[in-house]
Chains A and B, each alone.
Chain A
């Protein structure tokens, strides 16, 4: 008899959702976490999209530890001295059922793990899974760093994060390429709540999400500013190969973004309370491992399910969606008494028929588009240049037509008409 029906490695959103579904199905499940508490190893930009929680935890917003509800979502395109912002706001996202929320992962992940515990999952913290137990080519458990730490189960769900050594050990990953990854760095900056309200034009528990392109100098990437209750999350996401090729160091790029005239007044005077860094599986669909093996499923960042698609930066919802699907598929396989790869294959079809793989498949080209030289360097200069010319009054010269402005700004910024069309069509195919 194995020790448990299922072992879930990693009590992040994917792991807790998987454990919750297994426990609800009446299965014995051990939820392993290497940190001293769930979320203690986890870091992200700062926004959770909660719609995926509606079916898992009805009225989740009454209990989830969130910081602010995002009612303003802004995309800023900047050059060294200019900024053009598209700023959408709606008060309806500040009321149930809400849309996005800022939250601290150590709070949020601990809460979600708590719901799995309440359902009957056994949460074991401060325990690192150091490897897989394999018998006859089939995963039958994990090794841990506890004394006598081998744990056996009919199925293991690897939710062990972006580096997923378990999925790699199981042979589910192809060659690992640094070009598929970015690193996120972030400062949590304390400011009085009323100062945040004033600077960002919000009240009460409403908050703001800024996503920024053109702010990462010689390293392809992007930036973000999110409002928590009494802190800001200010950070960058940076291409690993470009950093490694001698690009400017992350903290220096962050310092420069904070000093930009469009950002400095927002963050001025704040005290850095916590610095953090985490790797992101940026390439999404194109880097995903095999999701199913004999006795093992992979979910969340471990399966590269972070969506880094420029205007959409999501991960926690994909982790919860994939984790819950893994939990249900594992419960069904356990019920049938077949947790071989064939018996677990329902996981993949569940994902195929949900947003998890539908969005990733549709947007598979988006990470490449966003990281391209055109999007990173030329588009910000072009967009800001066009805005400058549109709004600048050059009397006694008459106003130029938009076509003339665009043509001259394209020329000034080295954007070829042919490239703009081909990249535009590519973007339309992806986002359209």
Chain B
């Protein structure tokens, strides 16, 4: 039974998506000094690309590269100014094909 429903690893899942990463500019930045005071940290569970990782010292490690540009993180963010959110430069970022 289990072989019929192989689990998709998160790496495989994200590996199925094309990202034209802009190496010069992060379109989203996180000021994680503000995250240390945040009791909610909703970005950790809500970001569909799982890009917000809590660090042992109470901060947040964020990677802008494999990002769907969906907006979830800034919408759920509880700390004013913690997330600076823009779109990537034209032509960069996620490129969907069969969505």
Which of B16, B17, B76, B94 has a CB less than 8 Å from the CB of A240? B76
Which of B4, B40, B49, B87 has a CB less than 8 Å from the CB of A277? B49
B43 at the interface (CB under 8 A from A): yes
* Contact B96–A40 (Cβ < 8 Å): yes
Residues of A within 8 A of B75 (CB): 176, 178, 181, 240, 279
* Contact A41–B96 (Cβ < 8 Å): yes
A425 at the interface (CB under 8 A from B): no
Segment with Cβ contacts to B, from A244-252, A319-327, A390-398:
A244-252
Query: A251 CA to B46 CA in the complex, in Å?
Result: 10
A146 at the interface (CB under 8 A from B): yes
Residues of A within 8 A of B40 (CB): 244-245
Which of B20, B46, B99 has a CB less than 8 Å from the CB of A36? B20
Residues of A within 8 A of B13 (CB): 187, 251, 272, 275
B12 at the interface (CB under 8 A from A): yes
Residues of A within 8 A of B91 (CB): 34-36, 125-127
* Contact B95–A186 (Cβ < 8 Å): no
Per-position contact with B for A226-263: 1 when CB-CB < 8 Å, else 0? Answer: 00100100000000110111111111000100110000
In whole Å, how far is B46's beta carbon from the nearest beta carbon of chain A? Answer: 4
* Contact A130–B86 (Cβ < 8 Å): yes
Residues of B within 8 A of A259 (CB): 5
* Contact B90–A128 (Cβ < 8 Å): yes
Which of A39, A41, A185, A272 has a CB less than 8 Å from the CB of B8? A272
* Contact A145–B94 (Cβ < 8 Å): no
Per-position contact with A for B52-82: 1 when CB-CB < 8 Å, else 0? Answer: 0000000000000000111110011000000
Residues of B within 8 A of A268 (CB): 4-5
Q: Which of A173-191 contact B (CB under 8 A)?
A: 176, 178, 181, 183, 185-188
On whether A183 and B48 interact (CB within 8 A), knowing A244-B40, A274-B97, the answer reads yes
Residues of B within 8 A of A162 (CB): 71
On whether A178 and B76 interact (CB within 8 A), knowing A244-B43, A275-B17, the answer reads yes
Residues of A within 8 A of B20 (CB): 36
Query: A249 CA to B51 CA in the complex, in Å?
Result: 12
In whole Å, how far is B51's beta carbon from the nearest beta carbon of chain A? Answer: 11
* Contact B97–A243 (Cβ < 8 Å): no
A276 at the interface (CB under 8 A from B): yes
Residues of A within 8 A of B10 (CB): 251
* Contact A269–B4 (Cβ < 8 Å): yes
* Contact B42–A243 (Cβ < 8 Å): yes
Query: A245 CA to B87 CA in the complex, in Å?
Result: 26
B14 at the interface (CB under 8 A from A): yes
A358 at the interface (CB under 8 A from B): no
B45 at the interface (CB under 8 A from A): yes
* Contact B46–A183 (Cβ < 8 Å): yes
In whole Å, how far is B65's beta carbon from the nearest beta carbon of chain A? Answer: 15
Residues of B within 8 A of A105 (CB): 96, 99
Per-position contact with A for B12-34: 1 when CB-CB < 8 Å, else 0? Answer: 11101100100000000000000
Which residue on A lies nearest to B2, using beta carbons? Answer: A259
* A–B Cβ pairs within 8 angstroms, 8 of them: A35-B91, A127-B90, A228-B98, A240-B75, A245-B42, A251-B8, A273-B98, A276-B99
6 closest pairs, A vs B, by CB? A244-B42, A126-B91, A277-B48, A244-B76, A43-B99, A243-B46
Q: B residues within 8 Å of A by Cβ? A: 4-5, 7-8, 10, 12-14, 16-17, 20, 40, 42-43, 45-46, 48-50, 68-72, 75-76, 86-91, 93-99
| Additional pairs, 15, CB under 8 Å, beyond known A128-B88, A244-B40, A245-B40 | A36-B95, A41-B96, A126-B91, A127-B91, A130-B86, A162-B71, A165-B87, A243-B42, A243-B72, A249-B45, A268-B5, A274-B16, A274-B98, A275-B14, A277-B49
